[in-house]
Amino acid sequence: MLALLLLAAAAQAVPESAWSTDQTAHFSVHHENPGGSPSDDNLVERIYGGLHPALISLAPWMTDKKVDVYLYETRDSFLKGRFSPPPWSGGLMSDAGGEKALAVYAPLDEVVTAHELTHLYFHSYFDEKSVFPPAWLDEGLAVTLQDQALHPPDPRDKGPILRGFIPMKVFLDSRPAADTPAASVTFWYQQASSVVRFLRQGHVDSLFTDFCAKLRDGADSPTALREVYGYPDVDAFQRAWLAWRPTTAMGMPVGLGQR
**DSSP letter string over 116-185?**
HHHHHHHHHHHHTTT----HHHHHHHHHHHHHHSSSPPPTT---PPPSS---HHHHTT--HHHHS-GGGH
Count CB-CB contacts under 10 A for residue 44.
Answer: 25
- The number of distinct structural domains making up the chain is 2
Angle at 226 between CA 222 and CA 229, to 5 degrees: 115
Q: Per-residue pLDDT tens for 154-166?
A: 888 999 999 899 9
For residues 89 and 139, membership in a common domain is answered with no
Which secondary-structure segment (H or E) carries 38?
Answer: helix 38-55
For residues 146 and 80, membership in a common domain is answered with no
For residues 114 and 68, membership in a common domain is answered with yes
pLDDT at 228: 99
Confidence band, pLDDT 50/70/90 cuts, at residue 7 = very low
For residues 37 and 113, membership in a common domain is answered with yes
Task: Report the CATH number at residue 79.
Answer: 3.40.30.160
- Tell me whether residue 3 is in a domain: no
For residues 139 and 238, membership in a common domain is answered with yes
Residue type for 153, please?
P
Range of the domain at 83: 21-127
Query: Contact 43/50 with Cβ under 8 angstroms?
Result: no
In the predicted structure, residue 95 carries a pLDDT above the cut 80: yes
Q: Per-residue pLDDT tens for 98-134?
A: 899 999 999 999 999 999 999 999 999 999 999 999 9
- Tell me whether residue 252 is in a domain: no
Closest C-alpha among 87, 143, 82 to residue 115: 143
For residues 15 and 11, what is the distance between their CA atoms, to the nearest angstrom?
A: 9
In the predicted structure, residue 188 carries a pLDDT above the cut 70: yes
